Structure 1
Amino acid sequence: MQDVVESEFQQQVERLHRLTVYMRWSMVFVLWLTVGLASLWGFRYEMSLLKEHFTWAALRYGIMFNRLPSLGLAFCIGLTLSVLYWQTRNILWGRSPKWQQRLEKQVLRIRHQGAQHPLWHWVCRQ
Structure 2
Amino acid sequence: MDQPEKFPNSEHSEASFAEQVQKLHRLTVYGRWLFVACLWFTIAPISIWDLREEIALWRQYFTWVAVRYGLFYHPFATLGLAFCIGMTVAVLVWQSRNIVFGLTPQHKQRLEKQVFKIRQQGSSHPLWKWICQ
1:66 corresponds in structure 2 to 74
Residue 106 of structure 1 pairs with residue 106 of structure 2:
no
Matches within 5 A, 1:15-94: 15-94=23-102
Give the equivalent residue in structure 1 for 2:6: none
Q: Which has the higher helix share?
A: 1
- Give the CA deviation at 1:19: 0.4
Q: Supply the distance in 1 between the matched residues of 2:110 and 2:73 (Cα, whole angstroms).
A: 43
* Runs of at least 4 residues off by over 2 Å: none
TM-score normalised according to structure 1 size: 0.98
Between the two proteins, what is the percent identity of the paired residues?
51
Distance in 2, matches of 1:37 and 1:5, equals 48
How many Å separate the matches in 1 of 2:101 and 2:54? 42
Q: CA deviation at 1:20?
A: 0.4
Cα deviation code 1:76-117 (max 9, x no counterpart): 000000001000000000000000000000000000011111
CA–CA distance in 1 between the matches of 2:45 and 2:19? 38
Q: 1:122 aligns with which of 105, 109, 130?
A: 130
TM (normalized to structure 2)? 0.93
User: What residue in structure 2 maps to residue 2 of structure 1?
Assistant: 10
3-state DSSP of counterpart to 2:57: helix
Q: What runs of 5+ residues in structure 2 fail to find an aligned partner?
A: 1-8
How far 1:37 sits from its partner (Å)?
A: 0.9
Higher relative contact order (CA 8 A, sep 6+): 2
| Root mean square deviation of aligned Cα | 0.5
Separation in 1, partners of 2:49, 2:95: 30
